[in-house]
Amino acid sequence: MSFHLRSLLDEIKGELAFKYIAIARSLMDKGYDVISFGAGQPDIPTPDHIIEAAKASLDRRFTGYTETAGILKLREAIADYLNERYGASVSPDEIIVTTGAKTAIFVAIASYINPGDEVIVIDPSYPAYSEAAKLLGGIPKYLTLKFDKLKGFEIDLEKLESMITKRTKIIAFNNPHNPTGAVFPPRVVDELMRIAEKHNLIILSDEIYDNFIYDNAPFKSVSQISGWKDRAILINGFSKTFSMTGWRLGYIVARRDVIEKMIRVAVNVYSCATSFAQEAAITALKGDWTPSRKMIELFRRRRDVVYEELSKVEGFEVWKPLGAFYIYPKVSMLLKKINMTVEEFVDYLIDKQRVIVLPGTAFSEISGGDYIRLSYSISEERIREGVKRIREAINELLNRAS
Ligand code: PLP
């Protein structure tokens, strides 16, 4: 009975990364040697001690519903983490544990958006902010990042301020940034908060990659700014730092009165996050961080390799990312020469070389046609082999075009 479905659903983008993960899997099942730069998740399994904690929790039969906000011990552990690391002044009653950061984004946006309200979204961006806003009757407004091969991706704060209207309610900000790998400097975070204060807006700050920061790039959490809870909502989670994507655990931090209201949304959407996953998450935060630290160092080395290799590719403009585990080359010069759209180029790489990268259009309504995203969540050897295949494909295409 599709005629009863909301027509709006036709305008909602699925997360293309999941489509390409499915393509990779089906090609692998057919026996192809696929190199996938598509996945937005660490390739390293969840550390053993966290898995053991979940098993122990199951053995104790901790399998029922929990409070919607999440078990107190986990909220205490989250508060301790944020307070020790950022001096965030957070108490457990200012936290809701969610089924992943993605649910946190949805709950947060659902708690603020009236039909017609505008949400300023960075372009390119992780798609959940704009799509949640649309689903809830809001209107995303895209602020395209400036790109320079040497300076990287930058937010044009003047342009941002000029986009604010009476309907603007939220600025959705993600730092370190998916898909560009940018770590926006502390000055930008301060300025965003100042702009939010001046125009009475909310900053939704998704800091899920806050442990994936390289070369000591200066990073500032919104939670380091005094009085931040009057202006910002912090989103974070366990998926990336502890390689727990399938466990579905994230969290929202906000002022207590805001959290009390958000719980009304949360209880109607998911009741609570998985009980034994929550117990294991306490061990993640309070236990040994060595496996996470090692994983992040591994990603730093891979970042160096992927940057070095992609820099040699004809027609690619590449900036060395400082955070997360993505690199976002500008490929518009190449696309012009080979007369292809970015999607055609991505399909060609799959068909001819069994290499999966994501088109920038998966992350951007505006500038995405000029970029591709690669996740370097594969071994250095596979990164080198994958980029070699990309180079071979490009040579073929350039030969064909000349
Ligand atoms: N926020 C950003 C910026 C992400 O890149 C992702 C996942 O790729 C998420 C949130 C979602 O994380 P989770 O697995 O906790 O839902």
Q: What is the mean pLDDT of each run of 10 residues along the chain (402 residues)?
A: 83 80 88 92 96 98 98 98 98 98 98 97 96 96 95 97 98 98 98 97 98 98 97 98 98 98 97 98 98 97 98 95 98 96 95 95 93 97 98 94 78
Q: Which residue from 103, 130, 177, 240 has its CB within 8 A of the most atoms of ligand 1, so it is best to mutate?
A: 240
Residue 401 C-alpha to ligand 1 middle, in angstroms? 39
**Residue 174 CA, closest ligand 1 atom number:** 3
Do 122 and 251 lie in one domain? The reply is yes
Question: Is the CB of 144 within 6 Å of ligand 1?
Answer: no
- What is d(CA 330, CA 147) in angstroms, rounded to the nearest whole number? 9
> Would the CB of 178 count as within 6 Å of ligand 1?
yes
Domain region containing 224? 48-286
pLDDT attached to residue 334? 96
Whether 57 and 133 map to the same domain: the answer is yes
What is the spatial distance between Cα 73 and Cα 98, in angstroms, rounded to a whole number?
A: 15
Q: How many domains does the chain have?
A: 2
Q: Verify that 295 and 250 share a domain, yes or no.
A: no
Q: Given the CA of residue 209, which atom of ligand 1 is nearest to it?
A: 3
Asked if residues 212 and 296 have their Cβ atoms less than 8 Å apart, the reply is yes
Ligand 1 centroid – CA 208 distance (Å): 7
Task: Say yes or no: 129 and 183 in one domain.
Answer: yes
| Atom of ligand 1 minimally distant from the CA of 41 | 8
Question: How remote is the CA of residue 396 from the centroid of ligand 1, in Å?
Answer: 36
CA distance 56 to 61: 9
Instruction: Tell me what pLDDT residue 1 has.
Output: 67
Do 185 and 321 reside in the same domain of the chain?
A: no
**CA of 333 relative to ligand 1 center, distance in Å:** 30
- Atom number of ligand 1 nearest to Cα 105: 10
The encoded tokens of residue 301 equal 């080395």
DSSP state of 330: B
Q: How far is the CA of 237 from the centre of ligand 1 (A)?
A: 8
* Same-domain status, 80 and 195: yes
Last residue of one domain, picked from the residues 239, 271, 286: 286
CA atoms of 10 and 380, how far apart (whole Å): 39
Q: Do 60 and 40 share a structural domain?
A: no
End-to-end CA distance of the chain: 51
pTM: 0.96
Cβ–ligand 1 distance for 174 under 6 Å, the answer: yes
pLDDT of residue 287: 97
Residue 400 has a pLDDT of 86
Same domain flag for 119 and 202 = yes
The CATH code of the domain that includes 321 is: 3.90.1150.10
Tell me, in angstroms, the distance from the centre of ligand 1 to residue 57's CA: 25
Q: Which of 361, 332, 297 is nearest to 20 (CA)?
A: 361
- What is the rounded distance in angstroms from the CA atom of residue 343 to the CA atom of residue 364? 13
| Predicted pLDDT at 203 | 98
At residue 2, the pLDDT reads 74
Of 258, 286, 314, the last residue of a domain is 286
Q: Same domain, yes or no, for 208 and 251?
A: yes
